[in-house]
Amino acid sequence: MPVHLIDSPLLGDRVSTPEMRAIFEAQSQYQSWLDVEAALAEAQAEIGMIPAKAARAIREAARIELLDMEAVKEHGRVTGHPLLGIIRVLRENAGEAHGTWAHYGATTQDIIDSGHMLLAQRAHGLIDGKIAAILQDGLPLLETHRDTLAVARTHGVHALPFTFGFKVASWLEELARNRERWRETGERCLVGSICGAVGTYAPWGKQGFEVQDRTCARLGLGAPRMSWQSQRDRVAELSAVMALIAGTAARIANEIYQMNKTEVGELAEPYRKGLMGSSTMPHKVNPVKCEWLIAIARIVRHNAGIIFECMEVEDERDTTMWRTEWVTMPESFCLLSGALEHLHQLIAGLQVRPERMRENLDMLQGVLLSERVMFVLQRAMPLGHAHDVVHEASLTALAGQRPLADVLLEDAKVAKHFTREELQEALRPEGYIGLSGEVVDRIAGDIRRGLDAATARPL
């Protein structure tokens, strides 16, 4: 039975996606090691280092369905080694004459690091594609609400008017920037490692670089300039950018969660008939997608911290650090896929309630526009004095739940210079949203251009 929630029949799809789980499930992981062994043999055969027949036999034998996993498991129990059992069974399946050339000159970390990067490359493409889909499906939300008036909040309270489209622009621009970072990690981080026991290519002499380059090319991975057995910055960078993506997703989910609260009521998660939020309170429709997203994104971020701890590698090999990656990296990829799936569904089906946004905008009866009316009063008094006048008037208006214009006109210095019509015009939210719409237009254009450029330059 599964132990980790990722593999739970009941909850697995809440925290990850089937496509990502398929990449990192055990059989796929073992096959990635076999793929590296086969690519290594073929590269060596190309330069005459091993017989071509041996390379073909190794390739034919390097299929997970041909391995006796019970024998592999027994080898592992006896030797305590994570890879040696697979190598031995692979050699047996390739035949004595050909199998002897399997794993020729390689070290365990060559195979496992390269295999893990092979899986990371596939996962990398899924993450990139999902972010692109979120951005694409976020554009209609952005543009539809370009001019939808809403309350901007700072320190958790009403600040000034802006548009809901401006808020969505903030979400999507940050996510688009993370996609740029993510795509940049591909060339720099998704590399193989075929360099021998201490990274000097010693078993292959002068042909060492060629063995590595040809093997990595066959795998579709980049070839490093030197061994990275003790350089874990590439793994850390992948983990760090995953943490950034998770952090952005969690920020968006938390804002939706807050704006979904009954007292606010401006947003709601997508709804379909049959959704229920409570086993005992029939009225409840909870923001479960936001909750799941925030919970699992937190683990992705913490995993990045663990990976950074594991950069402190000792000498030329240190498996006390290395093996930690075997747990955290697959987990982070799987959990990030789940977080992004929730985010995609939130963005694509978000319920927006403009009428409730307007109610909240008018809730303070003009106090929300205190900044603008202060600038109006400056025409008749110094700005600092105008600030004090509006401050006191705002507190009085809030305490008495009265319109700000009424309170201001009770001040003789204000009434002397300004009419009710002038003050009420200054207190119209529509007139003080700055360049909200222009910002939306700018970000929408940036996102479209970014999507087009990425399509033209596939990973």
- Convert the pLDDT of each residue in 318-349 to its tens digit: 888 888 999 999 999 999 999 999 999 999 99
Amino acid at 220: G
Note the pLDDT of residue 245. 98
Are 145 and 421 in contact by the 8 Å Cβ rule? The answer is no
Amino acid at 248: T
Note the pLDDT of residue 73. 86
Comparing C-alpha atoms, which of 228, 199, 243 is closest to residue 311?
A: 228
Mean pLDDT of 264-281: 84
Note the pLDDT of residue 291. 96
Tell me the per-residue pLDDT of 2-51, one tens digit each, with 9 for 90 and over: 789 898 988 988 999 999 999 999 999 999 999 999 999 999 999 999 99
Q: What is the 3-state secondary structure (H, E, C) of 132-158?
A: HHHHHHHHHHHHHCCCCEEEEEECCEE
Residue 315, pLDDT > 90, answer: no
Q: Which residue has the higher pLDDT, 71 or 147?
A: 147
Span between the terminal Cα atoms of the chain, in Å:
37
Comparing C-alpha atoms, which of 257, 246, 244 is closest to residue 335?
A: 246
Annotated active-site residue 394? The verdict is no
3-state secondary structure of 291: helix
Tell me the per-residue pLDDT of 388-443, one tens digit each, with 9 for 90 and over: 999 999 999 999 999 999 999 999 989 999 899 999 999 999 999 999 999 999 99
Note the pLDDT of residue 203. 95
Are 311 and 233 in contact by the 8 Å Cβ rule? The answer is yes
Residue 261, pLDDT > 80, answer: yes
Lowest mean pLDDT of 61-65, 162-166, 224-228, 279-283, name the range: 279-283
Are 336 and 292 in contact by the 8 Å Cβ rule? The answer is no
> How far is it, in rounded angstroms, from Cα 369 to Cα 390?
10
The band of 1, judged by pLDDT with boundaries at 50, 70 and 90, is confident
Comparing C-alpha atoms, which of 255, 235, 282 is closest to residue 170?
A: 255
Note the pLDDT of residue 71. 85
* Domain range 367-426, CATH architecture: Orthogonal Bundle (1.10)
Contacts of 3 (CB under 8 A, 6+ apart): none
3-state secondary structure of 159: strand
Residue 262, pLDDT > 90, answer: yes
Q: What is the 3-state secondary structure (H, E, C) of 196-220?
A: CCCCCCHHHHHHHHHHHHHHHHHHC
Residue with tokens 């071509």: 52
* pLDDT more than 90, % of the chain: 84
Note the pLDDT of residue 80. 81
Q: Which two tokens stand for residue 333?
A: 């990829």
Q: How many CB atoms lie within 10 A of CB 3?
A: 7
Residue with tokens 């997203």: 293
Residue 274, pLDDT > 80, answer: no
Strands 351-352 and 149-154: unpaired
3-state secondary structure of 160: strand
Contacts of 449 (CB under 8 A, 6+ apart): none
What CATH homologous superfamily does 108-193+228-358+440-456 map to? Fumarase/aspartase (Central domain) (1.20.200.10)
Note the pLDDT of residue 283. 84
Note the pLDDT of residue 57. 97
Comparing C-alpha atoms, which of 11, 185, 5, 193 is closest to residue 116?
A: 193
- Check the CA dihedral 303-297-333-444 and report its sign: negative
Catalytic residue among 4, 81, 278, 391: 278
Note the pLDDT of residue 288. 94
- Residues recorded for the chain: 459
What b/e readout covers 310-338, taking b as 16+ CB neighbours within 10 angstroms? Answer: beebeeebeeebbebbeebbbbbbbbbbb
> How far is it, in rounded angstroms, from Cα 223 to Cα 214?
9
What b/e readout covers 189-228, taking b as 16+ CB neighbours within 10 angstroms? Answer: bbbbbbbbbebebebbeebbebbbbbbbebbebbbbeebb
* pLDDT more than 70, % of the chain: 99
Radius of gyration of the chain (CA): 30
Catalytic residue among 155, 170, 385, 391: 155
Domain residue spans of the chain = 108-193+228-358+440-456, 367-426
Annotated active-site residue 98? The verdict is no
Amino acid at 247: G
What integer best gives the mean pLDDT of the chain? 94
Are 163 and 439 in contact by the 8 Å Cβ rule? The answer is no
The band of 280, judged by pLDDT with boundaries at 50, 70 and 90, is confident
Tell me the per-residue pLDDT of 172-222, one tens digit each, with 9 for 90 and over: 999 999 999 999 999 899 999 999 999 999 999 999 999 999 999 999 999
CA 451 from chain center: how many Å?
17
> How far is it, in rounded angstroms, from Cα 237 to Cα 179?
14
Contacts of 377 (CB under 8 A, 6+ apart): 386, 389, 390, 414, 417, 418
